[in-house]
């Protein structure tokens, strides 16, 4: 995925989250374990988001490997330890998948399912 394509996908995902009432706390957060695309929150939940854009939604849905999932979880743990002011009652990791036309689908609590 090219840099501009990735930015467009992340912008679309962030806009969708804001429309749903989430506050975007950070974008492209680099940790020693990897990068988190978006971190959002509401009053009850901290939401970590991986954004994947591929030609089709099916391709995007299957684009997160087990190894990448492990790195994303480690990055999430790092954020929880280093940003106590971001912590909420609950934390979830969603993957927002987009196709070439920027149609979006959400896989809620995706890494727990892997």
Short-list 44, 112, 106, 52, CA closest to 76: 112
Q: Give the per-residue pLDDT at 114.
A: 52
pLDDT tens by residue, 59-104:
888 888 889 899 999 999 999 999 999 999 999 999 999 999 989 9
- This prediction's pTM: 0.90
Domain ranges of the chain: 3-113
Signed CA dihedral, 46, 40, 34, 57: sign only? positive
The pLDDT value recorded for residue 47 is 97
Q: Which residues pair with 107 in a beta bridge?
A: 95
Beta-ladder partners of 86? none
- CATH code given to domain 3-113: 3.40.1350.10
């Amino acid at each position: 995925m090219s840099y501009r394509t990735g930015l467009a996908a992340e912008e679309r995902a962030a806009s969708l989250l804001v429309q749903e009432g989430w506050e975007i706390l950070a974008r492209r957060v680099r940790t020693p374990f990897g990068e988190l695309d978006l971190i959002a929150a509401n009053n009850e939940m901290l939401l970590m988001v991986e954004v994947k854009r591929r030609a089709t939604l099916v391709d995007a849905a299957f684009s997160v490997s087990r190894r990448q999932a492990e790195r994303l979880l480690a990055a999430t743990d790092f954020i929880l330890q280093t940003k106590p002011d971001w912590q909420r009652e609950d934390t979830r990791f969603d993957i927002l998948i987009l196709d070439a036309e920027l149609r979006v689908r959400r896989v809620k609590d995706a890494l727990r399912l892997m």
